Structures are given as structure tokens and as C-alpha cells.
Amino acid sequence: MVMDNTQDITPIPKRFDFFEHTADIGIIAYGNTMEEAFANIACGMFALLTEPDNITPKKSMDIEVTGYNQDELLVNYLSELLYHCSTKEMLFNKITILELTPTLIKAKAYGEKYTSGKHQLLQEIKTVTYHQLKIEDTGCGWEIRVIFDV
Amino acid sequence: MNTWQGPIEQIDDYRFRIPTSYMDQMRVSGLIYANLEMMEYIKNDSTPIQVANVACLPGIVKYSIAMPDIHWGYGFSIGGVGATEIAKGGVISPGGVGSDINCGVRLLRTNLTLFDIKDRLPALVDGLFRNVPSGVGSCGSIKLSPKDTAGVLHTGTQWAVNHGYGIPEDILYTEEHGQLPFADPEQISQRALDRGHNQLGTLGSGNHFLEIQVVDEVFDPEIASVFGLKEQQITVMIHTGSRGLGYQVCEDYLRSMGDASRKYGIYLPDRQLACAPVDSPEGKGYLGAMACASNYAWANRQCIMHLTRGVFERILKLSDREIGMQLVYDVAHNIAKIEKHIIDGKETNLCVHRKGATRAFPAKHPDIPEKYKAVGQPVIVPGDMGRASYVLVGTQLGMNEAFGTACHGAGRIMSRTRATKEAKGRSIARELADQGIIVRSSGRETLAEEMPEAYKDVNVVVNILHQAGIAKKVAKIRPLGVVKG
């Protein structure tokens, strides 16, 4: 028997989308607050690198980054996470933002070390770019757009 | 992506100009090498805006140039060339070099012909795939101690040869002898070192490749013979760069150059053109770090060449002498160089940015190997994995007009996402196999992203430069077996 459960399902708000850009790829992340959008853009970035559902958030790492302004802060924050990924082979799928000002971010990133067989690496991100970077309060939530050099 | 609405003036069949009237801040005009058909594509890619933006850089001389393989990039377009006069406050910009510092190609010739390896081709491709680490975040068997790292950053190819990865002759046939002299490891962050310590001798992912090829057509037998190339000969091409170390240097300096641009009051039409005068502490810092990453890249390609020689010897059960795998030349196509050029009749020190563009010096230039002095520098132009690659030679016209520069490849025409979508339900490996090309790849999506249709036709790109006289065609090479990251 087929049950119609649609009434009971609360839709999970979309956290991020990918969009294409010439040679590269971009992510647009959403959030009710700027903090949530900052957390979601990082999760989106790791979803570019690997299948996020295969990451078990069993280890955490403290992240603290500064920037000259909000745009730089965002780029520096994502670059920091990428650095931990490329040197410590950490993959993250959950981020808690502890503090966010226009020039400082403190966060806790949860994930685990890359394990061959469990995780498949889909692509390499060379750098996080400033091109068409946007952090915006749309009136019905926050949106962050970032393009990655892949 | 915006379509270009600004002015474009056609100079001749292969040259187009963006006049300085387009934007107040332009110091020189833009010069694009293309044909009419290519120009339509270029306009839709909005790269002319990037050519115009580069024309605003302090100290820029002559023109902001775009090669026919131009496509959109960060700051500078890929295929962009910009030279600044150092004595006049000329700047250096990490956005004019790119993330993969000294990404480049080397071409190896052999004594073998297609007939010699035909039956062993699958085994050779498998051997290369197994022995040269490739793919996302690939790490190699060469682990660098801090002392080794310093050696690589300082002396590039020289370090590799001294440590048994090659022969002294290889150094002679590498641009800059595989070692930029102004390398300053003090300018390299710990983070960049961390990312580089286990990646020497690895191909990486994306468009990087290792290819077994055959010389398909020789256009200029005399010059080809000086380069040691003839029809039906087997060659190998290596395309990779400075890996994570280079990406980190780019990131570090894009950050600090943002501050420097503010400090020196430099107008930036695009944040990714952040720059500093070459002669400033910030400019020198980047130059020193970029040179280290460049040397790392040369050592990387040298180590991969050494691994390749080993694979050929083992699989073919022939001696190195019998195989005769020698370096034709190694070129950098993401780099900034300090070079002397004639500007307004005077020899002038310039900082020449070549981002997705290849140095193409003419005959008699002091910086090319003795053996090639009479004909000019070989320019290695890799195409996509289904069509062809080219060997060109630098010309005096290219020297006078484009700072001795040619294109770097075919140039991407389709985004990676679009290519993956278009390839859905197709087996790119099978399609290539049907054309007689064997492909091995580490990444699931790589073959789709890198399929031939994702690129412009390299034949057209190269013909534009040949007709324009900027570089001349010497030989066309076609792929037989490809290892992709």
C-alpha cells in the first residue's frame, strides 16, 4: 500500500546550490542569519570535494580567522578550511559559527580524516576567488555567492 | 556572463584592438589575436573586459594582449599577457600568473616509432598510470626533508638532477634552466611548505596530463630536425605545475597584495588584479615566492620525466640509450618574468606576465639553448586529449609585437559543469578508444570535464598565430595514450 505522507513532511530548507561559471564552479549558500549562510557555504564547498553524506562528524577543529572586511573574511575562512583539508586531509560536513563580526570569525568545524574507500575525492579546489563574491541580506534571508578556481 | 558591448576595432584578419576610449583608466589599448569567428565567441565570454582591466595596471606598456585561446580567468584572462615597466612603477600581480604557478609543459622525444610500441601501448599507459601519482591531492613517493625543500625552491631542476631524477642535459632544455634566480624561500609561508612537502613528482588533477603521442605532421622539416622531431616518431608530453604549494603562494599573496594595492593607492577595476610595484617590498616578496613555486614546478616536471623514462625502460625492456628519451623543451605558461624588451627604441626592463601564455623567443635570443639559436625557441602547445598538440617556434615579429609570446593550449570553451552534463550517458573513454586513444583517469568526473568538445579547436587557435606571424607551426602531434588526473 502506498501511503501519502506529504502532509507530514516539513520541507528542509535548501542550504546551498551549485552554479556553473566558465571554467569553474560557484556555490550559492542560504541562511536565515548571516551565521547560517557562512556555515552553509563551507558545507557547500566540501560537497564539491566529496559526498557529504559519507562524512561522519566525529572530530572537531577550532577555526579562527580575520579579514580586512567581510569579503576578505569570507575568502580567508573558506581558504582556512581548505588548508586543513589539503594538509591534514580533513573533510567537514558540519560547521557551528561561534562568533561573527565584519572582520573576525570563530567557528567549530566537524568532520573526519579522509579515508580511501569511504570517501571519494571528486575534485580539487585551487583557490577561493573574489570574483562576483556576494554576501547579501535578501530581505527573506541571507545569501552568499562564491566562485571557486577548480 | 555579460556580452561585450564596448568597441572592438579590427586591425587585420587576425588582430583586434580595444581602444583606450573604452575606459578612462586604460593606459594602453588591448590587442586580441583572433579571427572573426573566434572573436564572436570571445565577446560572449566577456573576456575583453578583462583585457581592458589589465590595460589599467600601473606601468603597463604597449598593449594588454590576449592570445586566441583566451578564456575567462581571475583578474587576467587565461591567455592574457601584460608587461609593466619596472623603472616607471610597473606592478606585478598574482592574478597575472594564476593559481597554478609555473603550470607548464615539457615535450620528450624518443628514438621509437609508432611501429615499435603499437602492441605495448596499453601496457605503457597502465605503467605510467601506476607509477606517476595522479588525481586529487595526489602525493608522491618523494618526501622532502626541510633541507631538500629549500634545495627544490632555490634550484628547481638542478636539485632534481643532483638527486638522480634526470641527466644534466635536461637542464639545458628547460626554460630558465629550470631555475629562476630570484627565488627567496623566506617569502614562502609554512602553509605553502606543508602543502608541497609530499607532492613532488605528482601530476595532480584537472587538465593536467601525461600523454604518449606520435608526430603526425611536420610543417617545417628543417626546424623540426633541429628540435629532433620527425613524422611517426613517438613523443611524450607532461603537463602539470607547482601543485598545492603554488596554490597556497597565490592565495597568500592575493591576500597581502590586497593590502599593498590600498597602500600604494592603485586603482583596481577587479579585486583579483591586486598588485604592487615590482620594486616595492611587497612586489619583491611575491616575485621571490613565485620564483620558488616556479622552481618547484620545474623540479616536479623533471621528476615525472624521470619516472616516465623508468616506465618506458621496464615495459619495453629496452635501455635508456635505445629509447633515447630526451627533452625537446620545457615551457612555463603561468609565470611572471623580468625580461629586457625594446620599448620606444630603447632596451627596457619589464615584468612580463604570461597567464596561460607561452614564452616564444625568436632565433638568436640569448635565453634559448645553443642548439636552437639558429631557429628559435620551441613552443609547446598542448591541445585536448582527442585532437592534437603542436610544436611552434618563436618569431621576431612575435618578439616585437607580443613580448615574444604565443598561446598555451586550445582554451576552454565549456564550463566543467556543462561538460559533465553534456557527457552524461556517454563513455568518453570509449569514444576516445574508438579513435585509437587509450585513456586512464583517477577522477570519476575528469574525463567528462576534459572531453575534447570542452575546448576550442587547437588547430584553429594555432593557425591564427601562424597566420599572424606571432609563432610558426613546426609539427603537429596526436595523442595515443593519455593519463589524466
Contact A24, B415 (CB under 8 A): yes
For residue B435, pLDDT beyond 50? yes
Burial class (CB in 10 A: 0-12, 13-18, 19+), B21: exposed
Higher pLDDT, B364 or A3: B364
Point out the residue among A76, A123, A130 whose CB comes nearest to the CB of B272.
Answer: A130
CB half-sphere exposure, B361, CA atoms < 13 A: 20
Structure confidence at residue A12 (pLDDT)? 64
pLDDT in tens, B381-405: 999 999 999 999 999 999 999 999 9
Structure confidence at residue B176 (pLDDT)? 98
Question: What torsion, rounded to 10 degrees, do the Cα atoms B474, B478, B482, B485 define?
Answer: 50
The string of DSSP codes covering A7-30 is: GGPPPPPP-EEEEEETTEEEEEEE
Please tell me if residue A14 touches chain B, with a CB cutoff of 8 Å: no
pLDDT in tens, B159-189: 999 999 999 999 999 999 999 999 999 999 9
Band of pLDDT at residue A20, cut at 50, 70 and 90: confident
Please tell me if residue B190 touches chain A, with a CB cutoff of 8 Å: no
What φ, ψ does residue B283 adopt, rounded to 5°? -65, -45
Residue of B nearest to A85 (CA): B137
Residue B156, amino acid: G
Partners of B244 on chain A (C-beta within 8 Å) are: 86
Across chain A, mean pLDDT equals 90
Strand partners, B281: none
pLDDT in tens, B102-133: 999 999 999 999 999 999 999 999 999 999 99
* Range B230-242 burial, b when 16+ CB lie within 10 A, else e: eeebbbbbbbbbb
Structure confidence at residue A121 (pLDDT)? 86
B154 counts as catalytic? no
DSSP-derived letter for residue B174 is B
Candidates B177, B341, B408, B466; catalytic one = B408
Structure confidence at residue A3 (pLDDT)? 47
Band of pLDDT at residue B142, cut at 50, 70 and 90: confident
Structure confidence at residue A2 (pLDDT)? 47
Higher pLDDT, B86 or B144: B86
Residue of A nearest to B449 (CA): A23
Please tell me if residue B445 touches chain A, with a CB cutoff of 8 Å: yes
Domain-by-domain residue ranges, chain A? 32-149
Structure confidence at residue A10 (pLDDT)? 59
Partners of B135 on chain A (C-beta within 8 Å) are: 121
For residue B436, pLDDT beyond 60? yes
Partners of A121 on chain B (C-beta within 8 Å) are: 135-137, 443
Mean pLDDT score, B237-248: 96
% residues pLDDT > 90 (chain B): 86
Task: Give how far the C-alpha of residue A56 lies from the chain's centroid of Cα atoms, to the nearest Å.
Answer: 16
Structure confidence at residue A5 (pLDDT)? 47
What is the value of ipTM here, to two decimals? 0.80
* Cell numbers that stand for B467 in this block: 597566420
Under DSSP, is residue B152 helix (H, G, I), strand (E, B) or coil? Answer: helix
Across chain B, mean pLDDT equals 95
Q: How far apart are CA B6 and CA B55, in angstroms?
A: 14
pLDDT in tens, B49-60: 999 999 999 999
For residue B2, pLDDT beyond 70? no
Taking CB atoms within 8 Å and a gap of at least 24, the contacts of A115-119 are: A118/A54, A119/A50, A119/A51, A119/A54, A119/A55, A119/A91
DSSP-derived letter for residue B218 is E
Structure confidence at residue A1 (pLDDT)? 45
Q: Which of A48, A129, A146 to mutate to test the interface with B (most CBs of B within 10 A)?
A: A129
Q: How far apart are CA B389 and CA B207, in angstroms?
A: 14
Q: Does the distance separating the beta carbons of A76 and B191 come in below 8 Å?
A: no
Structure confidence at residue B211 (pLDDT)? 97
Whats the size of chain B, residue-wise? 485
% residues pLDDT > 70 (chain A): 91
What φ, ψ does residue B352 adopt, rounded to 5°? -100, 115
Q: Does the distance separating the beta carbons of B417 and A25 come in below 8 Å?
A: yes
Partners of A83 on chain B (C-beta within 8 Å) are: 191, 194-195, 248
Please tell me if residue A53 touches chain B, with a CB cutoff of 8 Å: no
Query: Which CATH architecture best describes the domain A32-149?
Result: 3-Layer(bab) Sandwich (3.55)
Taking residue B356's Cβ as centre, other Cβ atoms within 10 Å add up to 26
For residue A120, pLDDT beyond 50? yes
Query: Lowest-confidence range among A2-11, A22-31, A122-131, B224-233?
Result: A2-11
pLDDT in tens, A37-61: 999 999 999 999 999 999 999 999 9
Point out the residue among B135, B272, B416 whose CB comes nearest to the CB of A131.
Answer: B272
Taking CB atoms within 8 Å and a gap of at least 24, the contacts of B421-427 are: B422/B448, B422/B451, B422/B453, B423/B447, B423/B448, B423/B451, B424/B448
What φ, ψ does residue B176 adopt, rounded to 5°? 60, 20
Point out the residue among A76, A79, A126 whose CB comes nearest to the CB of B100.
Answer: A126
For residue A9, pLDDT beyond 90? no
Mean pLDDT score, B277-296: 98
